[in-house]
Amino acid sequence: MDALAAIGCQDDADIRLDEAALHLAAADRTRADLAPTLEWLAELATQLPATLPTARDRAEALSNLLAKQEGFTGDHDEYDAPRNADMLSVLARRRGLPVSLAILYVAIARRAGWEARVMGLPGHVVVAIEGSEAVVLIDAFTDGRVLEPAELAGLATSLARGRPLRPGDSALLNNRETLVRLLMNQASRARQSGDDARALTLYRRLTLIAPAMPALWWERARLEREAGDTAAARRSLAAMRETTMDPELNDRIRQAYEALTR
pLDDT digit string (tens) for 51-101?
888 999 999 999 999 999 999 999 999 999 999 999 999 999 999 999 999
In Å, how far from its chain's centre is CA 129?
Answer: 17
For CATH 3.10.620, the residue range(s) in the chain are 2-173
Is the pLDDT assigned to residue 165 strictly greater than 70?
no
> Among 46-60, 102-116, 186-200, where is mean pLDDT lowest?
46-60
pLDDT at 261: 85
CA proximity to 102, closest of 185, 215, 218: 185
**Cα torsion through 27, 215, 160, 131, rounded to 10:** -70
> Among 9-13, 44-48, 54-58, 174-178, where is mean pLDDT lowest?
54-58
Confidence of residue 154 (pLDDT cuts 50, 70, 90): low
CA distances from 246 to 218, 235, 250 (A): 14, 19, 6
> Among 26-35, 71-80, 132-141, 181-190, where is mean pLDDT lowest?
132-141
Three-state secondary-structure class, residue 33: coil
Residue 165 to residue 103: CA distance in whole angstroms: 24
Residue 20 to residue 41: CA distance in whole angstroms: 13
pLDDT at 122: 81
Share of the chain above pLDDT 90, in %: 82
Burial class (CB in 10 A: 0-12, 13-18, 19+), 250: middle
Indicate the average pLDDT of the chain.
92
Tell me the HSE value of 129 on the side-chain side, using a 13 A CA sphere.
34
Sorted by sequence, the CB contacts under 8 Å of residue 81 that are 6+ apart come out as 75
Strands (E), the chain: 73-74, 95-96, 116-121, 124-130, 135-139, 145-147, 171-173
> Among 12-26, 144-158, 242-256, where is mean pLDDT lowest?
144-158
* CA-based R_g, the chain, Å: 20
> What average pLDDT does the segment 168-174 reach?
78
Q: Which CATH code, of 3.40.50.11610, 1.25.40.10, 3.20.20.70, 1.10.10.10, is assigned to 178-260?
A: 1.25.40.10
Is the pLDDT assigned to residue 152 strictly greater than 80?
no
pLDDT at 159: 52
Is the pLDDT assigned to residue 105 strictly greater than 70?
yes
pTM of the model: 0.92
> Among 3-17, 105-119, 163-177, where is mean pLDDT lowest?
163-177
Is the pLDDT assigned to residue 158 strictly greater than 60?
no
Which overall architecture, per CATH, does domain 2-173 show? Roll (3.10)
For CATH 1.25.40.10, the residue range(s) in the chain are 178-260
